[in-house]
Structure 1
Amino acid sequence: MKKFSKYFDVIVFFFSINLMFSQKGNFEIKNGQFVLNGKPFIIHSGELHYPRVPVEYWKHRLQMMKAMGLNTVTTYVFWNYHEESPGKWNFSGEKDLKKFIKTAQEVGLYVIIRPGPYVCAEWEFGGYPWWLQKDKNLEIRTDNKAFLQQCEKYITELSKQIVPLQINNGGPVIMVQAENEFGSYVSQRKDISLEQHRKYSHKIKDMLVKSGITVPFFTSDASSLFKGGSIKGALPTANGEGDIDVLKKTVNEYNDGKGPYMVAEYYPGWLDHWAEPFPKVSTEDVVKQTELYIKNGVSFNYYMIHGGTNFGFTSGANYDKDHDIQPDLTSYDYDAPISEAGWGTPKYNALRDVFQKMNSQKLQEVPQPMRVITIPEIKFSKNANLFDYINIQKPIVNDKPLTFEDLNIGNGYVLYRRKFDKNLKGKLEIKGLRDYANIYINGNRIGELNRYYKKYDLDLDIKAGETLDILVENMGRINYGAEIVNNLKGIISPIKINGTEISGNWKMYPLPFDKFPKHNYKLKDIAVGTPMISEGEFTLNEVGDTFLDMRKFGKGVVFINGRNIGRYWSKVGPQLTLYIPGVWLKKGKNTIQIFEQINDNINFKVNSIDHPILDELVK
């Protein structure tokens, strides 16, 4: 009888969830409250970005959220993720936004959409497609005709995914954000008037309305920045605001003296950069702030509840006075309550206890984590000098170095090459380096330039007949602040030796690494310091999540079964492993490919371990 009762409870639960979303509903802001189907509603949300999680794991991660006690999931939509090239849109497969929203609905979560068009999010270029910069008449995040035309195309395509799934159409979407953290941008762009700024942000909201979005709108800014970021007709929410009195006072000022009160980004963790310590937020602090919000009836969204991974070249970068770029890690673990691999952390368990105390019904059981495996050793049977690959490619020739954008690639690498007809000795200067370069003479590395450390020059001694190679990496476009408008990559200003511009006969070899370079891998000696491409095979009897141990490597990217799983930079840390989702592995034969840029310690094998290493800086 107990067994039957248990199954009956499960059936009733799923029936209630189905009933909850099977009919058209209503969500509105009324009398200073969120009102869901006629009843007051407090949003307890967590942020999860579907592009950072394999599609096969979406349901698991959403179930983790539901089991913690949340009622809503919030996600950004990344424009550049869906418009793969100008006019080519993809909302299918792992990019199926509708499927993500419907999966949240199946799990019993409401959905908040943050479509930008600017999203920040430690994502490449804040979500903007890189090729927008090719239009010299276009300026992003302003009342600019060319830019707004592109925004309208994006919003029109996006609305096709969202409108049918709004709550009033029987879906789970209850709110949509207009622009994103615009107040901070306004505060940094003093060259543009507040009036012009507000013209732009209000036009974005008007586009969203025109596209058919009818659920309530909101804006998201620090409470001190509402003046520049608030939009008429959109609820202002306060990012990171822990003081309830400040929250209420500020929202009242910009919302006709009333609520509801919401913190659209409460940070239970924080973002991470290469070459910098991994920041942590204590469980005690997160629990205390959560309880304060709940006690005061404040709606909130954990940013992030589950970070996931910046696969491929999707990670962005920051900019500050000490570093001309601060590239973000491949891991987007964020010290979030649900780890990068989807594991519940002590922070998760503590928060689940908080939500259980306020729920009269028992929360769902926490789903089991995905299987984890280790791979003892993978040998690279095919290895080659990258220059061997480059030497059989056809270059693009120009008097001056061209940017990535001029070469029509968005990400990856470009090799800049020039042969000298006379001796030159002195200081090589590349002040327009974006972002990282290894320098070679006749294939021998002579040094490294690095935008992070503001190192833009080195001593050089080149003889007549010798070849200079400059291998440049785009480490991610800036995604936050005023510098977002200066996001060209490659070499964007003259190359100089002893103050004299070196022009004429520059050969450029684009290496986008959208696919791993094909090579016949004829065996030959590979010198230390030579950029190397390697390939190996390994056989698995079972699949599962795992963490590739990159501690014996320097800097580069890894492909697994044709997928770019991200960058590593083990020479500096703090991330020393790469997460490989088990769903991207196969029983039987698998392929691994690595591009190692630095190659200080030639290594022909790699292994995986059962846990991530994300917080070890390398001296």
Structure 2
Amino acid sequence: PYINAETSAGGFPGWTTNLASKARTNATEWTNAWTPYLSGAAKSAAPFQYPAGPIIAVQAENEFVVSTPTDPGRSEAMVLVENNLRSNGITKVPITHNDPGTNGRYAQGLGMVDLYMWDGYPNGFLCASPGQWSEVRSDLPQTHLSIDPAEAWAVGEFQGGSFDPWGGSGYQQCYQLTGEEFANVFYKNNYASGIVYQNLYMTFGGTNWGNLPEPTVYTSYDYGAPIKEDRTLTPKYSEIKLQSHFLHASPDILVSTPVAAGTNFTNNANRDELLCS
């Protein structure tokens, strides 16, 4: 039920803020509030699960935490959401979670999902410094092995742009921070790290109408995305399309195994033999 996405109350209807119980817990009042909506959504989506339709996964929660002694009821709430989805027909595609970072939340234990996913925004949201990049991660293959080696390595939300707050630098700067050069480097690093499922946030941001946005953002939600607010296709769109063609033409990449991370082979005279052995 929760999406964040710089939306008002993270997508929850305003009336839920009047509930006495804590949101996103297993409190009875809160559970009763979301159950009719999620039940209806699941029943509507169920007929369109793959292969009968385009739905290939259903995300139970977004960037959710697990229960702790000082913050109870979280993992228990996750179980309730997953059970609701399954009881209302979501049984043919995996139920997922979008972990904020590769922390392993809900990869196992109470509330464990069918397919663990994580999110990553390597260049952050500092659009005022579009030339300031982070290093690509070289630990992703090892992280996969430590979290869920038996499952596909999936990133449910990866940086496709950046939001811009009131008084910010503007979305053209955000595009420069996460443009086609960014896509060329960071998305390909994901593929090389064994990631076989990559979902971008956002491909198209569009416009915040009415009371949709949270107070930190303004009417435009261009996001520096591959498709601009006015629906213009950008060079980043072309770069992603080119990568998509490669992935479609190279299905064996789905079962490939990363050989090494970094530039270990660059200066090795025997690199061809090492890579082919």
Could you say what secondary structure the match of 1:239 adopts? Answer: strand
Instruction: Quote the offset at 1:296 in angstroms.
Output: 4.1
Equivalent AA in structure 1 for residue 240 of structure 2: L
Task: Check if 1:211 corresponds to 2:111.
Answer: no
Q: Pick one of 109, 115, 131 that aligns with 2:15.
A: 131
Deviation at 1:358, TM superposition (A): 4.8
Q: Please name the residue that 1:199 is paired with.
A: 76
1:312 aligns with 2:210: yes
- The one-letter code matched in structure 2 to 1:182 is F
- Of 76, 80, 99, the residue aligned with 1:221 is 99
124 and 348 in structure 1: CA distance in 2 versus 1, 3 angstrom threshold: same
Letter in 1 for 2:210: G
Question: What's the offset of the Cα at 1:292?
Answer: 2.2
Residue 166 (structure 1) aligns with: 49
Indicate the structure (1 or 2) with the bigger Cα radius of gyration.
1
Query: Counterpart of 1:208 in structure 2: which amino acid?
Result: L
> Who is 2:164 aligned against?
272
1:264 alignment partner AA: G
**Bigger helix share:** 2
CA contact (8 A) 1:272 1:328 kept: yes
**2:165 aligned partner, one-letter code:** H
Contact 2:102 2:119 in 1 (8 A): no
SS at match of 2:37: helix
* Residue in 2 that maps onto 1:240: 120
SS of residue matched to 1:172: coil
Instruction: Tell me: CA distance 1:222–1:234, structure 2 relative to 1, closer, same or farther (3 Å).
Output: same
Q: 1:349-360 counterparts in 2 under 5 A?
A: 349-360=238-249
Residue 333 (structure 1) aligned to one of 217, 222, 230: 222
Aligned-pair Cα RMSD in Å = 2.6
CA drift at 1:134: 2.3
Cα distance, 1:274–1:151 mapped onto 2, change above 3 Å: same
- Distance in structure 2 (CA, Å) of the matches to 1:227 and 1:359: 31
1:355 is displaced (CA, Å) by: 3.2
Could you say what secondary structure the match of 1:167 adopts? coil
Report if aligned partners of 1:309, 1:333 keep a CA contact under 8 Å in 2: yes
| 1:118 and 2:2 matched | yes
The 3-state SS of whatever aligns with 1:164 is: helix
Deviation of residue 149 (structure 1)? 1.1
Report matched runs for 1:92-107 at 5 Å.
none
Gaps of 5+ in 1: 1-116, 318-326, 362-619
Looking at structure 1, the residues matched to 141 and 87 of structure 2 have their Cα atoms a distance apart, in angstroms, of 31
Q: Which structure 2 residue ranges, 5 or more long, are not aligned?
A: 123-135, 251-277
- Map of 1:289 onto structure 2: 186
Contact residue 181 and residue 229 of structure 1 kept, 8 A: no
The residue identity in structure 1 corresponding to 2:114 is A
* Pairing 1:178–2:60 present: yes
TM-score under structure 1 length normalisation: 0.34
Cα offset for 1:297?
4.1
Cα distance, 1:291–1:177 mapped onto 2, change above 3 Å: same
In the TM superposition, structure 1's runs of 4+ consecutive aligned residues that sit over 6 Å from their partners are: none
Q: 1:142 to 1:251 in 2, by over 3 A?
A: farther
Aligned to 1:141: 24
Give, in whole Å, the separation in 2 of the partners of 1:258 and 1:228: 15
Q: CA separation of 1:204/1:251 partners in 2, compared to 1, >3 Å: closer, same or farther? A: farther
Instruction: Tell me whether 1:261 sits opposite 2:158 in the alignment.
Output: no
Q: How many angstroms apart in 1 are the aligned matches of 2:47 and 2:95?
A: 17
After superposition, the Cα gap between the structure-2 partners of 1:209 and 1:355, relative to the gap in structure 1 and judged at 3 Å, is: closer
Q: Deviations along 1:44-90, whole A, 9 cap, x unmatched?
A: xxxxxxxxxxxxxxxxxxxxxxxxxxxxxxxxxxxxxxxxxxxxxxx
**Matched-pair contact (CA < 8 Å) for 1:337–1:344:** yes
Alignment: residue pair count: 228
Q: Structure 1 pair 177/131, CA: closer, same or farther in 2 (3 Å)? A: same
